[in-house]
Every structure is written in structure tokens, then in C-alpha cells.
A and B are shown apart, each in its own frame.
Chain A
Amino acid sequence: MSVHRDQQNLEGVLDAYEAELMATADEELLAESDEVELAAARGVLAMALAVADARQQTAAARRRRPVHRASSPVAVPAVRPRPEQMRATFSSDPTSALDDDDPGGLPD
């Protein structure tokens, strides 16, 4: 119980100290601190900003990058012979198209 009370009391001291820090004039606070303390705080902020910046750049690069995945199906335009071509090719003799003089062209 007394430990709990001590902890609460300590919280009270810390809260009082925080309130004092907030109420202290800037120039007074600067006079009470040294360059090393300030440099250390600046370092922490610079690190946090750099990490956030790197995260944003990575996210932006991911959004810009086209998706190339080996497993994804390759989109091939569907080329399908028209019905009349099919009929002409296989109209009577299924082998007639093979006898065509012009193998690259349409059947006669």
C-alpha cells in the first residue's frame, strides 16, 4: 500500500515538474540547459524524421513500380478467327486449306 502511495506521490512530483517545464520561459530553460542536451534531442528528432521520410519514399516507390510477377499470367490479345473464316477453311474438305498455294493467306 505504501509502495503504491509512494508511486502516486512520485507521479505527483513528476507531473509538477512537467507543469513547471511547460510554464518556464524559453530563454530561462535554454539558460538552464547545455548544448549537449539540446544536440541529443535534435539527434533523436532528426532520426525520427529520416526514418519517416525513408518510409514514405519506399511506399511511393512501391506505388510507382509496375507489377512484374513471374507467376502472373501474360495478357495475350484474344485473336479468334471470324466465323466466315472458319466456315471457309473447313467448309467441305477439311484438308483443302492445307493444299492452298498460299499457306500464309486465307483459303480460296
Chain B
Amino acid sequence: MRPPPDPIPLESIASPAVVAAALRDLSSAHLLRLRQIARMRSAGLVGVEWEDLLQEAFSRILAGTRRWPVEVPIVAFIAQLMRSLASEHHRQQAAHPFVTAEESSDPSGLPLAIADDRPGADLQMEANDFRAALVRRLEADPGALAVLLSHERGETAAETMARTRLTAHEYDAARKRFRRLVKQELERGGSS
């Protein structure tokens, strides 16, 4: 039986020098994209700020522990890497909940009360708050909501414009409002 082929051909893996050069060449716009993506992926993580997530992604790709195939745009690769790292953090935090035991004077040594500090609970609350706030704002802006639905349905811009009867100019403006709205909610709910 033949072994399964390596999904990433060895020759397409960037060397550490190539990775470092590509990162040094990242434009301001790409850095801003990555910052925003790090912000949203770190939302709800306990003790992991956006800087930590972005730094971790850069470090892993530079160290070669996550191999970058050169044919994949580096920004897309780092974005995907941050999504995967955030998922790992969420899983770890859900698997190892922090429990705070209050000190007890009971000679048995048993704590009087145990506070539920589970990150999962925080995440759910934050996710719900974030979504609720976002939905409230999107419902007040049908154009921005149309942008979200367009992505969720996998529509093209033309299909969305045909469905919503928005002109190209109106759709562009709606996209801008959608970005601004999500960014504002991330800034409000997330860490700075």
C-alpha cells in the first residue's frame, strides 16, 4: 500500500530567510489587516491579547513549526494560522478551567465556596454580548446586514446587489459601515 502523499511539496516550503524577508516586506495595509484579524480571533480568550496571538503566529512561521507554502499568500496563511491558534487556546481553556477556591478556616481544609471562573463561561457570555450588540446595530442598518448575509450565503457582490436592489455605490458604502461596525464592537468588547 502506498503512503499518502505529503499535502505540501517540500520544495514549496519557504526557508526561514524567505519567511523573514516576506514578513519584513508586509505592507502597512497587510499589517492592519492582521492586527484586526488578531483582535477578533483573540476576543473571548482569557489572558491572550491580540498582540500575543499575532506574535505567536509570526514566531511559529519564523521558527518553521508552521510551514508556509510559498504559493499561499502570506497574509492569508497567517490569518488562517491565527484562527487555528485561537481555536487551540479556546480548547485548552475549556479543558482546563480555572477554579478559585476561597480560603477556609474549616479544620477539614475544605474550601467554603468555589468560584466558577471557567473561561468557557466567560467566552460564551462575551460571545453572546458581542453578537447581541452586533445584531442590534446590524438590524438598524439593513445595508450592513445584507453584507453579512452575503458572506453567510456565499453570494457574490453582484448576487447580493440583485437580491437587495442596492446600487454598487450603496453596496460599497454598506460594506464600509459593516467593517466599521464590527471594528467598533471589537474595540468596545475586546482588550485594547
Chain A residues close to B by CB (< 8 Å): 3, 6-7, 9-10, 12-22, 24, 26-30, 32-33, 37-38, 40-42, 44-45, 47-49, 51-53, 55-56
Contacts and interface: CB of A to CB of B under 8 A. Distances in A.
A20 B177 CA distance: 11
Contacts of A30: 28-29, 32
A21 B29 CA distance: 10
Interface residues of B, number: 46
A37 B179 contact: no
Contacts of B41: 14
Nearest to B82: A18
A29 B178 CA distance: 13
Given A10-B131, A22-B75, A48 B32 contact: no
Interface of B: 16, 20, 23-24, 26-29, 31-37, 40-41, 43, 51, 54-55, 58-59, 62-63, 75-76, 79, 124, 127-128, 130-131, 134, 147-148, 150-152, 175-176, 178-180, 182-183
Nearest to A43: B51
Q: Secondary structure at chain A's binding surface: helix, strand, loop or mixed? A: helix
Nearest to B79: A18
Contacts of B32: 29-30, 33, 37-38, 41
B124 A44 contact: no
A56 B16 CA distance: 10
Contact of B151 (A12, A38, A47): A12
Contact of A49 (B20, B28, B150): B20
A17 B54 CA distance: 17
Contact of A32 (B55, B130, B180): B180
